[in-house]
Amino acid sequence: MDLQNAVALVTGGASGLGEATVRRLAKAEVKVVIVDRDEARGAALAGELAGAQPKRAVFVKADVTSDAEVQAAVDQALALGPLRVAVSCAGVGWAARTLNKEGAPHDLELFKTVLGINLVGTFNVLRLAASAMARGEPLTDGERGVIVNTASVAAFDGQIGQIAYAASKAGVVGMTLPAARDLSAVGIRVVTIAPGTFDTPMMGLLPEPARQSLAATIPFPRRLGRPDEYAALVEHIARNPYLNAETIRLDGALRMAPK
Q: Which residues are catalytic?
A: 165
Q: Please state, in angstroms and as integers, the Cα–Cα distance from residue 58 to each residue in 35, 69, 134, 198, 232, following that order.
A: 9, 15, 23, 26, 21
Residue 201, judged by CB atoms within 10 A of its CB (0-12, 13-18, 19+), counts as exposed
DSSP string computed for 61-104: E--TT-HHHHHHHHHHHHHHS-EEEEEE-------B-SB-TTSP
Q: Supply φ then ψ for residue 219, to 5 degrees.
A: -60, -55
Residues 218, 224, 226, 230: what is their CA dihedral angle, to the nearest 10 degrees?
Answer: 50
Amino acid at 109: E
Q: Supply φ then ψ for residue 250, to 5 degrees.
A: -125, 85
Cα(49)–Cα(62) distance, integer angstroms: 20
